[in-house]
Amino acid sequence: MQPFLSVIIPAYNEAKRLPPTLQDVHRILSGKNFSYEILVVNDGSQDATAELVSEMAKGIPFLSLLENKKNRGKGAVVRQGMLAARGEIRLFMDADNSTSLEHLELALPYLQNEHEQYDIVVASRAVRGAQLDPPQPLFRRVAGKVLNLFAQALLLPGVWDTQCGFKVFTGGAAEEIFSRAEMNGWAFDVEALALARALELRIKEIPAHWRNDRASTVPLSAGLRFAIETLTIRFRLWADTYHIRTKNSAATKPLPGREEQEAKNEI
């Protein structure tokens, strides 16, 4: 039976931070009245991440492990999890639980509203009502805003936080986006949302309660790589390497023989 919800958690060397996250996800989902699955996608961890998840699966229902022997990058394993998932609704979240699964309650109404339905809901640290606990250092906030404005100018006007690690998709949107996505690095979130825009899918930002893990570090080179990858996405969309314009033109192309039949009807 198809589950209602799939939770995808990418993990690389997360043996310390992953257990409390899985326990929190289990606590929240066990009280729900819908079916679900939890997929941890191990990105070639060198620590005991895989063994730990296998052990915890004995006590947490519907938890399973997707194992990769080599490190491929977060974008690759999120893509792998999204396409392996079976849920009507599919979300990915960070292994450190910086944005808790509690945000699902706020996201679901936007995905299920018959009158104003969205295809994707993303938690945002940059919209009204967001809480940063505690705030990031000033230089990281400034750098993040600069990179966000760069991504907005090239690809995603009006999306104020592309990098918060909590994004929820309908199953159909996930299939359309992640079957095309190619980025494995820092800009994989940008690519997913840019593909959504190109596919004319609707995106909603909701305020995040984001817990800053002071142990997390981002190298200075990440900003440059993010910018290069964002430019690459812009070029790929222009060149239609994602086959979106091809798809749209095929959808509007008349069926074989239609023009001839219409001509006959006019005679």
CATH of the domain at 202: 3.90.550.10
Q: What range does the domain containing 106 cover?
A: 5-261
Residue 267 lies in a domain: no
Q: Does some domain include residue 266?
A: no
| pLDDT score of 217 | 61
pTM of the model: 0.90
The pLDDT of residue 258 is: 43
Q: What φ, ψ does residue 7 adopt, rounded to 5°?
A: -110, 120
Contacts 24+ apart (CB under 8 A), 151-156: 151/187, 151/190, 151/230, 154/230, 154/231, 154/233, 154/234, 155/190, 155/193, 155/194, 155/197, 155/230, 155/233, 155/234, 155/237, 156/190, 156/193, 156/194, 156/197
Q: Residue 260: what pLDDT?
A: 45
Mean pLDDT of the residues in the chain = 91
* Residue 138: predicted pLDDT: 80
Number of structural domains found in the chain: 1
The reply to whether 23 falls in a domain is yes
Closest to 129 in 3D by CA, of 213, 24, 208: 208
Within a domain: residue 183?
Answer: yes
Tell whether 48 is covered by a domain: yes
158 has pLDDT over 70: yes
pLDDT of 139 above 50 = yes
